[in-house]
Structure formats: C-alpha cells, structure tokens
Chains A and B, each alone.
Chain A
Amino acid sequence: MTLTEIIWMACAFIFGGTAVWGLSWSVRAGQLDDLNGAATSIFDDDEPVGLRTDGFPTGQVEKFR
C-alpha cells in the first residue's frame, strides 16, 4: 500500500469511528431513553412550553395571537 492509501484508510476509520462513538455514547448516556421529555429540554421556568418568544429580550411574555 502506498502512503496515500494508508492515509485514506486511516481517515475512513477515524470518520466512521467518531460517528459510532457518538451514537454509542448517546445510548450509554441515556440520551435516547426519554424521547418525549427530550423535546422539552429547550424550555425552562423562564420560557415554559406555551410561551411564544419572538421579540424583546426582557423575558416578558407576549401572547401574539
């Protein structure tokens, strides 16, 4: 094998390896255990589900129906 070919094989393993590590980590860390709860992780007490946010960053709640 030439040096180029060895570099390419190494690249493939690094690339594939990172992806597998990412997926396996997400399973081990329980990232996929609670898929319904996961969707709400971007909300909090300050900006709860049901609060529309698009505007001034005062934290104030706007109900623009």
Chain B
Amino acid sequence: MSLVTRPPDRRVSIDASTRLPVLVFFTSAVFWLVTGSFLAILASIKMHTPGFLASTSWLTFGRVRPAHLNAVAYGWASMAGIGVLLWLMARLSRAELRYPWLLAVAGGIWNVGILLGIVGILSGQSSGIEWLEFPPYVPPILVAAYAIVGVWAVVTFRDRREKHVYVSQWYLFGAIFWFPWLYTVTNLLMVYQPITGVTQASVNWWYGHNALGLWFTPIGLAAAYYLIPKVIGRPIHSYYLSILGFWALALFYNWNGAHHLIGGPVPAWLVTVSSVASGMMIIPVGAVAINHHMTMWGYFHVLKYSPTLRFIVFGSMCYTAVSLQGMSQSFRTLNQVTHFTHYTVAHAHLGLYGFFSMVMFGCIYYIMPRLTGWEWASSRMIKIHFWTTALGIGSYWTILTWGGLMQGIELNDSDLPFMTIMKRTIPYLWSRTFSGVLMTTGHLVFAALFAMNLLHLGERRTEPTLLGDNDDNVATESAQAPPVLGSSH
C-alpha cells in the first residue's frame, strides 16, 4: 500500500534497467572465477609435483598457467568489472540504461571469446605473449563485445540527469577509453603487424602493466570512491585529493611498464624513466590512501556489520600496499634481488586479487540484492567467504614474498648451485597450493551464495544480511513489501 502512496523512486528504476546485463556479466564472472581457481590449483600443484596429470599436452604446466591467468583476468576480473562499470555509470548518471538486452548480447559475445581463448591455449595455440596468450582469432571477438559496452557507457553518460561528474565517473571513463586503446594497439603491434625483438618486450610490458593500472585499477577505485561513502553515509574526506589522484594516475601510470625489463637487453634510459615514473606513483596512491582512510575515520566499527564495506576496505588497503610494493620493486637495488623470482608472483596476486577481486566481491554483495530483490541467504557463508579469501591471499602473499626474497638473495650468490636454490623453494610452493585451496573454498561458498541469490533460494528476508548482531536494526517497516525490481506486485 505504501507503494501506492509513494512512487517508486528513481534509483530503483535505474537499478532495474541494469538488471539483465549486469546479472549476465556477474554470473559469467563467477563461473570464470571458479574455473580459473581450479586451473590455478592445478598449475600450483604441478610446480611442486611435476608428474601430476603430466601425460597429456592439454594439461602441461606451460598451458594451464596462462589458461588460469586469462580465465581470471579476462573472464572473472574483466566481466565483474564491466558489470560494476555499467551499474555505476547508470547510477551516477542517474539515467536508465537503454536497450539493456544489447549489453547482455555483448556479455554473451565476450564469453564466447573467453571460452575459445581458454580452449585455444590448452590445445596448444597460445600466442606466447604474457597477458595476451589468447590465439589470434580471439582479440577481434573481445573487441567487438567491448565496443558495445564502451559505446553504451558513453550513451548512458550522455543521458545523464546528474549535472556533476563524480570522481568515480572520471575513473570509469579512464578505464573505458584506456582499455580498448591498450588492447588493440598492443595486439596490432605484437600479433597482427608484429614488430620484432626487444621493442616487442617494451610493448608487452607497457600493456601488461597498464592492463592492471589503467583498466582494473580505475574500475576498482571508482567502486571504492562510490561505495565507501555510500555505505557509511558520509561524503569522501577530500574531493580535491580524489580528483588530483585521478589525474596523477593518468599522467604517471602510462610510463611505468618498462620497469619489468630492469637489467634486460633494452636501452638503459627506458628503464630509468620507468623507474622514476614508478616513484611518482606516490602521488595518486597517497591521494587515494589518505582519502579512503580519512573517510573511514570514526566509522571503522561498521566493518563489523557490512559485508560490502569489509571487502572493499580490505581491497583498498591492499591497493595501498601493492602500490607501495610495486614502487619499491622498480628500484634497481631491490629489483636485482626480486626480478625473476616468486616475489613478483606474490606482488601480482596482491594487486589483482587482494585489491581488485576483493573490491569486486564487495560490489557484488551491494549490487546483487538491488537487482534480484532478494537478500543474501546467509551471513555465516559471507563470513566464511571473507575469512577464507582474506587469509588465503594474506598467506599467499606472505609466503611467496618471503620465499621470493630468499630465492633472489640466493640467486645473487653465484657459489650456490641453481638446483640447491630451486629445491629450497619447494616448501613455499606447497604452501602456495594450500593458500590456493583456501581461496578456492571461499570462491565455492561465494558461488553457492550467488546462485541462491539469483534463484531466490533461502528464507525471504526483509532486512539486510549483515555480519554482526543487529538487534537495533529491526526494520520499522518490515511488513512493507519492497518495490522488488521486475516483479509485478
């Protein structure tokens, strides 16, 4: 009855317009997350037990590892990121998505690309270019799907009713324009009209590094800049800092990639310039870290209750950590130790998992109930998801960072035989498998929760599924039927 007296508010109808495509992207993302996790465990086991499933070419380590990377980077992270991007863009523009089915088609095309790519890698057609291993027939498919997403995000922005362009939208626009530019140019220069030699390596790492910093990072930060203030109900600490951070990222990040080639057969000035730019990253990273911390100041107790906030704040803290670590790795002294070791692997996972994936989990916890009209089935399962993944990435990072440091220090002692050093890394590799199993357990719990939400399983709730006791949280209007999206009452 209250529905009669109160017109459904704008936000609800905007969320509803994003429902189909965002659910398509999220569901696919969760599927690829679980697939990628099993590929990861397989690759990890093969590192300490090389005879495991080694008799078929499809499952050899050198194919399973890139299949894992591409499944999680383009399947899970990119699809979750695009879902969040579309939802955020519609909300921040205060405009409904037009023709949402078109975006759902884009999600379908993207899935076809990923599936062909993963099968291509496993069947022995890898391009051999790190971060771009998909066989040459896949990139055009991804570009076609992406074109729809990119154009539609811009169309939604043009429909906007909100005059102000919020900082999250700046970050989203960064991602929207930078990704196609990076992806197509790199594919042109390395696959379709290949240049040769070490120039290729420079392009390769320009892409590999920017994919993280100019595609995933802006989406993750856009989500954090929206959802942290939104959940705690407090505007961000300093809007000025947030805008400064965005432009500083845009200015300096693009220069960073060549620090992957320190000591390599490339011109020395190239590496030096990259290292300097990596140092300048202190500006955008510091701006974000200070801003998020000061916004949360006095509100940290909310972490006890809100699943969204807990995942996103964990992710934000990892962002600061991974950025500072990345800067330190670009300095020659440390790089001389850590280059070519497991230390770098730990760093990459802290970025794509500890930061980006955890932020995406937080976003999905916030967005899903608003699309399905159904609350999360179990706060216990959310807690299991959080602790398995947080402890999983925490132990993964700690173990491989330490193991990589030891490995690097020993490699720089030429009296120690290589085989001895390699054997000493094996306990770390076993621990890595353990951490991977922990994270995968969390992913399975998350996938189950996600499916229950999608299918409206579990008891019907009228109040949010929070993590702690919320006795004083009894909904005063709990009898009121929610204006459930897409349902007809």
Contact = CB atoms under 8 A, between A and B. Distances in A.
A15 B231 CA distance: 35
A19 B165 CA distance: 15
Given A41-B162, A57-B482, A60-B477, A18 B177 contact: yes
B464 A56 contact: yes
B49 to A, nearest CB: 43
A24 interface: no
B181 A52 contact: no
Interface in A24-51: 26, 29, 31-32, 35-44, 46-51
B462 interface: yes
Given A15-B181, A60-B477, A53 B164 contact: no
A43 B236 CA distance: 11
Interface in B191-232: 193, 195, 226, 229-232
Given A36-B239, A63-B473, A64-B305, A41 B463 contact: no
Contacts of A51: 233
Contact of B243 (A18, A29, A32, A53): A32
Contact of B482 (A18, A43, A58): A58
B472 interface: yes
Nearest to B12: A57
B424 interface: no
Interface string B1-27: 000000001011001000000000000
B136 interface: no
Interface stretch (B368-376, B391-399, B425-433): B368-376
A56 B235 contact: no
B477 A54 contact: no
Contacts of A31: 164-165
Contacts of B15: 57
A49 B15 CA distance: 20
A32 to B, nearest CB: 7
B488 interface: no
Interface residues of A, number: 40
Given A38-B164, A65-B472, A58 B466 contact: no
A18 B461 CA distance: 47
B302 interface: yes
A9 interface: no
Contacts of B464: 54-56, 62, 64
Contacts of A44: 11
A46 B9 contact: yes
Interface string A5-22: 000000100010011001
B247 A23 contact: yes
Contacts of B480: 58, 60
A62 to B, nearest CB: 5
Nearest to B236: A39
A49 B233 contact: yes
A9 B470 CA distance: 59
B92 to A, nearest CB: 7
Contacts of B185: 11
A52 B232 contact: yes
B240 A35 contact: yes
Contacts of A58: 462, 475, 477, 480, 482-483
5 contacts: A47-B233, A52-B302, A53-B233, A56-B463, A64-B466
Interface of B: 9, 11-12, 15, 92, 162, 164-168, 173, 177, 181, 185, 193, 195, 226, 229-236, 239-240, 242-243, 247, 250, 301-302, 305-309, 366, 369-370, 373, 375, 461-466, 470, 472-473, 475-477, 480, 482-483, 485
Interface of A: 4, 11, 15, 18-19, 22-23, 26, 29, 31-32, 35-44, 46-60, 62-65
Given A59-B483, A64-B473, 9 more contacts: A47-B11, A49-B233, A49-B235, A52-B302, A57-B483, A57-B485, A59-B12, A63-B473, A64-B306
